[in-house]
Structures are given as C-alpha cells and as structure tokens.
Amino acid sequence: MSRITFPSHPLLLGFDKLEQLVERTARAGTDGYPPFNIEHRGPNAFRITLAVAGFQESQLSITVENRQLVVRGDQSDDDGSAERVFLHRGIAARQFQRVFALAEGVEVAGARLENGLLHIDLQRLDPEPKRQSIPITRG
C-alpha cells in the first residue's frame, strides 16, 4: 500500500506551500525573547503585542517579506558613555528577530509603541468567500 504525502494528495491542489510553512515554523527558534501575545480583536482583526522595554522606535523595524511579518530590534551596548561601570548587569542590550506567518488576505493595519509594548494590528481583508462561475468553451 502506497502512502500519500500531504502536498501530493489529489484533493489538495496548490497547497504545496503549506508544507513549507509547517516545516519553517517547526524549525523556527524557540528563543522566548521578546515575549509576545496574540489577541483576536474581532471577526477580522488580530493584534500582536511584543514586550520591547528599553527599545526606541528607531531601534525597531517591521516588514512584511513573502507573507511573513518580520519584527526586528537592534539595541546596541554602545550608548556613548564608555565610563559606565556596572555593579550588576541584569538588563542586557540585545538584538532580536520575530517572524510571524501571515495567511493570504491578512495585512498589517498599523503599529504603535506604547509603554514598552509594541502593538501590531492585523486585518483580514475580504473575508467573505466568493462564488465564481466558470464558463465552458469549445475546443
């Protein structure tokens, strides 16, 4: 008996990218920094909130690349004061990158930095399924 793999099933036409998405998600780093929440804010609205205390707007970037929302933070140790002497260093300046896969039709509606929290609002566009009639032509 032959085993049919996920993307080659005859009823799943065009879903081969879904397997790539699942593999990419499984390989994604398990680093928990920065922590984040994902909220369902309505029938077609979502919000991702990342805890980015200590980051300024200029140190954060949000891009959409190949249906992936990429949030990067670049906080360097060099703040211009070389004379600083730490007795305890518990707040480390570090870089991060968080990647979220976006479904088809989900777009970024806006972003806001407030009290050390970066809020990214997402919206699903045109959620209603469409009925399409296909004409049949000869030869």
What is the DSSP pairing of strand 36-42 with strand 60-65?
Answer: unpaired
Count CA atoms closer than 13 A to 103's CA, side-chain side.
Answer: 11
- pTM of structure: 0.73
The Cα-based distances of 31 to 25, 36, 68 in angstroms read 13, 12, 18
pLDDT in tens, 39-74: 999 999 999 999 999 899 999 999 999 889 999 999
Q: Check if the beta carbon of residue 41 is closer than 8 Å to that of residue 113.
A: no
Q: Which domains does the chain have, with CATH numbers?
A: 31-78+92-127 (2.60.40.790)
Could you give the CA distance from residue 136 to residue 126 in angstroms, rounded to a whole number?
27
Q: Is the link from the previous residue into 43 a cis peptide, with omega within 30 of 0?
A: no
Q: What is the mean pLDDT of the chain?
A: 83
Q: What is the pLDDT of residues 86-125, one digit of tens each?
A: 899 887 778 999 999 998 889 999 999 999 999 999 999 9
In this predicted model, what pLDDT tens digit does every residue of 10-35 receive, in sequence order? 776 776 676 766 666 666 655 788 99
